Structure 1
Amino acid sequence: MENIKSYIESGILELYVLGDLAADERSEVEAMSKLHPEVKAELGQIESVMQSLADSLQVLPSEKVRTGFLNSISFSDEEEIIAPVAKQQEAKVVALTKNYTNFYKYAFAASVALLLVSLVAIISLNNSLKNSKQQIAALQSSNQSFANKVNYLDQQVTKTTSALDIYSNPDVKMVKLEGTANAKGAKIMVAFNPKTNKVGLDMKSMDMPKNDADHQYQLWALVDGKPVDLGVFDIEGNQIGFKNMKEISKAQTFAVTLEPRGGSINPTMDKLMVMGNI
């Protein structure tokens, strides 16, 4: 379909209607019009436009010219005078008609030629504009894709830098949570800063089964034997950096359970996944 559209926009159909094609090119246009209804329809439209243009350019002698011509004819009662005068006037009419016919014929031909040149120029300009728009759209898409990649990398660098800052902070206690019978081999690193009460999860080192859409993991702190909710999280691919959880001033143990999405008031102990002591 794109090739047919390009064929129609090439200007060859206009040249066909004007009769300005070689025999083999005319045969090609006629074959294409038989094979493709859209080509045939375009030919019909071009012919209609050309006919309308020709009709609009048809010019009759003005009222002034006709009046002057009629006033130049005189009548006499003398028969010997009528015949020579009639012949003379007839010759004037023939010459005048011929002059006007030649003038308007050449004027029409010049108008058609100008129209053809204009059509070809418009078609060429239209194609150039379409190509330019496509190139601009492709460049904008490429720039947007590049900007998205740069933004993503910038976020990754920020997360990595933040993780390094946490690991190098002597006030932060890194607590390793290891898997239970429900998740053998699972592990999570929890960063706990008693001075700032901040708690975070190291997403890069996390090794946990991926949760489904109906469940989330929930982090708990055991404070004087009572569980305290520290928030929920999901396991997603290619995670880096630390995920901030709810703050707490003190804790003896951290644990993670699998709960319905949104979390629970109390931990579901038979869904205990990992735990570790400070």
Structure 2
Amino acid sequence: MEEVKAYIESGILELYVIGELSHEEKLQVEAMALQHPAIKAELAEIERSMELFAGEHEIEPAPELRNRILNSMLTNLADDRTFRTKNPSSPETPVVAMQQRPTNIYKYAFAACLALLLVSVGALYNVYNKLQASNQQLVVLNTQNQRFSKTVSMQDEQLTVFRDTAYQIMHLPGTGKTPKASMAIAWSPTKKKVIIDMATMNLPANDAEHQYQLWAIVAGKPVDLGVFDAKSDSSEMMKVMKPVDKPQAFAVTLEKRGGSVNPTMANMTVIKSI
């Protein structure tokens, strides 16, 4: 069946119908039609389609125009200079009408070309769609691979932090307003680095207009260490904040998006003294 389908889709049947095959090729097509009913049926359908198409698009030229064109083709391959005004002084040369040949073969040829064009356009469209789908799959796979690599890198960094004795792991408990809140940070007195553990964070999710802001109390004054979002589906494992030296405590408040110059004490979520 695959061989028959490939033979039908090769276009040889259309060439057979319009008479563009050699004698040997015609015999081959006729033999295949006798051997395979599907090929015979397809051959009949092509002939019927071409006849219908030719009948629907047939244009009968005016008799006088047809004679002039055919005579022009006979004399000088349809040179427009043939159509000249008669010279009254010159004798009129009798025009012998050329016998017209059947034009159905040209109609069938045009119909076959149109059919092949439509088939080609359809095939190209399918190939284009498949290529687009493949490109989208590659983009998705590439994005997933980048996320996986980023997650592995963050996990490696997190393990390095927890193994590095230069870091102190501090757990910040919730306040009276948010008793169930908690989070952990890693702080290095020697490196002055502060890292938030996003994976174990337990803070109420903030909306689009607000963000959490980390503060360090240094010499009795609050110092901004940066803002962050608390998302349950966050792919971030750790978040590096601004460095700080000799903090006395760490605290988190809920502020307007972008952060605040001074902490809003009424919105304090977690706090821990060192």
TM-score higher than 0.5: yes
Structure-2 residue corresponding to 1:265: 261
* Aligned with residue 167 of structure 2, among 172, 175, 179: 172
* Structure 2 residue 122 is the aligned partner of structure 1 residue 127: yes
For 1:18, give the aligned amino acid: E
Deviation at 1:68, TM superposition (A): 11
Deviation at 1:268, TM superposition (A): 1.9
* Structure 2 residue 232 is the aligned partner of structure 1 residue 243: no
Pick closer, same or farther for the CA change 1:68–1:167 going to 2, 3 Å.
Answer: farther
Structure-1 residue corresponding to 2:80: none
Pick closer, same or farther for the CA change 1:222–1:113 going to 2, 3 Å.
Answer: same
Structure-2 residue corresponding to 1:255: 251
Deviation at 1:15, TM superposition (A): 5.6
* Structure 2 residue 256 is the aligned partner of structure 1 residue 232: no
Query: Percentage identity across aligned positions?
Result: 31
* Aligned with residue 19 of structure 1, among 38, 52, 57: 52
In structure 1, what is the Cα distance between the partners aligned to 2:134 and 2:268? Answer: 52
TM-score under structure 2 length normalisation:
0.67
For 1:271, give the aligned amino acid: N
SS at 1:213's partner residue?
A: coil
* Structure 2 residue 114 is the aligned partner of structure 1 residue 141: no
Question: More helix by proportion, 1 or 2?
Answer: 1
TM-score under structure 1 length normalisation:
0.66
Pick closer, same or farther for the CA change 1:64–1:170 going to 2, 3 Å.
Answer: closer
* Structure 2 residue 42 is the aligned partner of structure 1 residue 60: no
The structure having more radius of gyration, on CA atoms, is 1
- Unmatched segments (≥5 aa) in structure 2: 1-44, 77-90
In structure 2, what is the Cα distance between the partners aligned to 1:13 and 1:258? Answer: 75
Q: Deviations over 1:1-26 (max 9, x none)?
A: xxxxxxxxxxx999657337xxxxxx
- Count of aligned residue pairs for this structure pair: 210
RMSD of aligned C-alpha atoms? 3.2
Structure-2 residue corresponding to 1:75: none
Pick closer, same or farther for the CA change 1:17–1:156 going to 2, 3 Å.
Answer: same
Deviation at 1:247, TM superposition (A): 0.7
Pick closer, same or farther for the CA change 1:116–1:214 going to 2, 3 Å.
Answer: closer
Which residues in structure 2 correspond to 1:80-229 (within 5 Å)?
100-101=99-100, 104-105=101-102, 108-229=103-224
Pick closer, same or farther for the CA change 1:112–1:246 going to 2, 3 Å.
Answer: same
Deviation at 1:129, TM superposition (A): 0.8
In structure 1, what is the Cα distance between the partners aligned to 2:50 and 2:117? Answer: 17
Q: Deviations over 1:102-151 (max 9, x none)?
A: xx22xx12211211221121111111111111111111111111111111
Pick closer, same or farther for the CA change 1:244–1:15 going to 2, 3 Å.
Answer: farther
- Unmatched segments (≥5 aa) in structure 1: 1-11, 21-42, 72-92
Pick closer, same or farther for the CA change 1:64–1:200 going to 2, 3 Å.
Answer: closer
Asked whether the 8 Å contact 1:188–1:205 carries over to 2, the reply is yes
* Aligned with residue 94 of structure 2, among 63, 70, 81: 70
SS at 2:202's partner residue?
A: coil
Asked whether the 8 Å contact 1:194–1:250 carries over to 2, the reply is yes
Asked whether the 8 Å contact 1:162–1:241 carries over to 2, the reply is no
In structure 2, what is the Cα distance between the partners aligned to 1:195 and 1:126? Answer: 69
SS at 2:71's partner residue?
A: coil
Deviation at 1:60, TM superposition (A): 2.4
